[in-house]
């Protein structure tokens, strides 16, 4: 059986810390979708460690780490990320079915965003969307292609030729075939020893009774099907994506641990009903250090949206819920939770497809002085307990983990 950690807001919920906390109990940690547009920050003894493609289990010597077939990989970005780590043979496995992000993907990504002006999605410009577009169009290049450079060169040539019309439309300069092939050849020398059929690897691990933990990138509200389309990512960020992105079957999933912040953030454009444009939003941004691990962009901040979280928990079939960054709300006199929406003259407690037309209806709670560094549930301030108890009752999922600081050990297990 495999367990899953999944974000249930708009990403940046703190999944990396939860996976890091859990990984010591698992034999395999598997990343199943997204690319290096995502980032997990883990704090160990005051030192920040930022991971983008490598699964969070890399910090435990006993863990085997798998980059699944649902991930899109920029070889140069992965090589940079691998630099601090040694002795990874036998500990890192890369799916031979994972698609490759090539230089023209990021060029097209940036050019298209620029052309949209104020209607831009707000992507990281890393080439994730165009790489997934090529995958779905059956025109992609996969890690397995690095084993046959003759065939690979023809594929790259064909793709670059096909992109000439896009080059003219979006006014960017395509790289030469030779430059792309040269970069791929250098990358292949380092990466190919890690490339294998990871689906077979995981099936064998299951047969041997090994414990597997899957981790996603971004959050459920950015899911390509069920998120706030079109301001979403290009992959399936929910539990269903864990199956398609690894080869595991739905019946293989056991625990689904949803992760949410005690407030809410979003990067880029798109609907965000509970966004706070005032002092409280800025307070959360500064105290929570809400700046992107990958891009450094400041995140939009707002109040906990219990309607959206309940929706995302239902989508994923969450069996448990982790609430992160409770300490960021320390010192606020009043804390708000969105418990319904005003929508076309009615009060609703679901997410309509035209989500941009809702207005939040809040329930207010008295704040607390400090939960920072608390590791025992019984020591939480009374008002913090009231807040947690309300969220648990409203959402209908047991809150089993509460994070009270960025530090690795500051987690309450309920």
- Provide the annotated active-site residues: 12, 40, 135
Residue 349 marked as a ligand binder: no
Closest CA to 339 of 386, 390, 413, 409: 390
Residue 325 marked as a ligand binder: yes
Residue 265 marked as a ligand binder: no
Could you give the C-alpha distances from 208 to 26, 204, 247, 332, in angstroms and in order? 13, 6, 17, 50
Could you give the C-alpha distances from 30 to 137, 243, 324, in angstroms and in order? 26, 11, 21
* CB contact at 8 A, 149 and 194: no
Number of other CB atoms surrounding residue 100 within 10 Å: 26
Rounded CA Rg of the chain: 21
Residue 12 marked as a ligand binder: yes
| Angle of helix 149-162 versus helix 177-191 axis, rounded to 10 | 140
Regarding beta strands 320-324 and 28-31, do their DSSP bridges make them parallel or antiparallel, or are they unpaired? unpaired
Distance CA 414, CA 382 (A): 16
Residue 356 marked as a ligand binder: no
Residue 129 marked as a ligand binder: no
Residue 124 marked as a ligand binder: yes
Residue 345 marked as a ligand binder: no
Residue 286 marked as a ligand binder: no
Residue 296 marked as a ligand binder: yes
Q: What value, to the nearest 5°, has the Cα angle with vertex 337 and ends 389 and 279?
A: 130
Residue 46 marked as a ligand binder: no
Residue 327 marked as a ligand binder: yes
Using a 10 angstrom Cβ sphere, with 0-12 exposed, 13-18 middle and 19 or more buried, the burial of residue 253 is buried
Closest CA to 126 of 163, 173, 72: 72
Residue 97 marked as a ligand binder: no
Residue 279 marked as a ligand binder: no
For every residue of 274-311, which 3-state class applies, written as one string?
CECCCHHHHHHHHHCCCECCCCCCECEEECEEHHHHHH
Residue 295 marked as a ligand binder: yes
- The per-residue DSSP string of 240-256 comes to HHHHHTT---GGGEEEE
Residue 171 marked as a ligand binder: no
Closest CA to 4 of 36, 33, 41: 33
| Angle of helix 177-191 versus helix 103-116 axis, rounded to 10 | 120
Distance CA 81, CA 53 (A): 8
Residue 376 marked as a ligand binder: no
Distance CA 41, CA 321 (A): 19
Residue 134 marked as a ligand binder: no
Residue 179 marked as a ligand binder: no
Q: What value, to the nearest 5°, has the Cα angle with vertex 259 and ends 240 and 355?
A: 70
Using a 10 angstrom Cβ sphere, with 0-12 exposed, 13-18 middle and 19 or more buried, the burial of residue 207 is exposed
Distance CA 116, CA 371 (A): 43
Residue 188 marked as a ligand binder: no
Residue 297 marked as a ligand binder: yes
Residue 294 marked as a ligand binder: yes
Residue 204 marked as a ligand binder: no
Sequence ranges of the binding site for GTP: 11-17, 39-41, 299, 325-327, 403-405
Binding-site residues from annotation: 11-17, 37-41, 124, 138, 218, 233, 293-299, 325-327, 403-405
Binding positions for Mg(2+): 12, 39
Q: Give the annotated binding-site residues for substrate.
A: 293-299
Binding residues for IMP: 12-15, 37-40, 124, 138, 218, 233, 297
């Amino acid at each position: 059986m495999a367990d899953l950690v999944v974000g249930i807001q708009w990403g940046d919920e703190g999944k990396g810390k939860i996976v890091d906390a859990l990984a010591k109990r698992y034999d395999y940690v598997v990343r199943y979708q997204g690319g290096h547009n995502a980032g997990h920050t883990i704090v160990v003894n005051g030192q920040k460690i930022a991971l983008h493609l490598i699964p969070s289990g890399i910090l435990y010597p006993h863990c085997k780490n798998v980059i699944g077939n649902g991930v899109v990989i920029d070889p140069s970005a992965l090589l940079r990320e691998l630099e601090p780590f040694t002795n990874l043979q036998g500990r890192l496995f890369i799916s031979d079915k994972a698609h490759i992000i090539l230089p023209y993907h990021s060029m097209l990504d940036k050019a298209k965003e620029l052309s949209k002006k104020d209607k831009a999605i707000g992507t990281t410009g890393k080439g994730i969307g165009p790489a997934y577009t090529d995958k779905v169009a059956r025109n992609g290049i996969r890690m397995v292609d690095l084993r046959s450079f003759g065939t690979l060169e023809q594929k790259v040539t064909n793709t670059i030729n096909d992109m000439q019309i896009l080059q003219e439309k979006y006014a960017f300069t395509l790289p030469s075939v030779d430059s792309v092939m040269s970069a791929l050849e250098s990358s292949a020398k380092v990466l190919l020893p890690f490339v294998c059929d990871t689906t077979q690897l995981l099936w064998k691990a299951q047969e041997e009774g090994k414990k597997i933990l899957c981790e996603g990138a971004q959050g459920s509200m950015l899911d390509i099907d069920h998120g706030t389309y079109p301001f979403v990512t290009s992959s399936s960020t929910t539990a269903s994506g864990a199956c398609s992105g690894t080869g595991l079957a739905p019946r293989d999933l056991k625990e689904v641990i949803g992760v949410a912040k005690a407030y809410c953030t979003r990067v880029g454009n798109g609907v965000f009903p509970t966004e706070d444009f005032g002092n409280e939003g800025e307070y959360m941004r500064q105290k929570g250090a809400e700046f992107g691990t990958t891009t450094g962009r400041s995140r939009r901040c707002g109040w906990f949206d219990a309607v959206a979280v309940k929706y995302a928990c239902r989508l994923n079939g969450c069996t448990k819920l982790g609430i992160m960054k409770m300490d960021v709300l320390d010192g606020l006199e009043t804390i708000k939770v969105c418990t319904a929406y005003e929508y076309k003259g009615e009060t609703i407690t679901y997410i309509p497809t035209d989500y941009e037309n809702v207005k939040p209806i809040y329930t207010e709670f008295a704040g607390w002085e400090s939960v920072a560094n608390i590791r025992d549930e019984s020591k939480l301030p009374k008002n913090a307990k009231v807040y947690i108890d309300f969220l648990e009752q409203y959402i209908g999922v047991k809150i089993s983990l509460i994070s009270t600081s960025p530090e690795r050990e500051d987690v309450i297990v309920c």
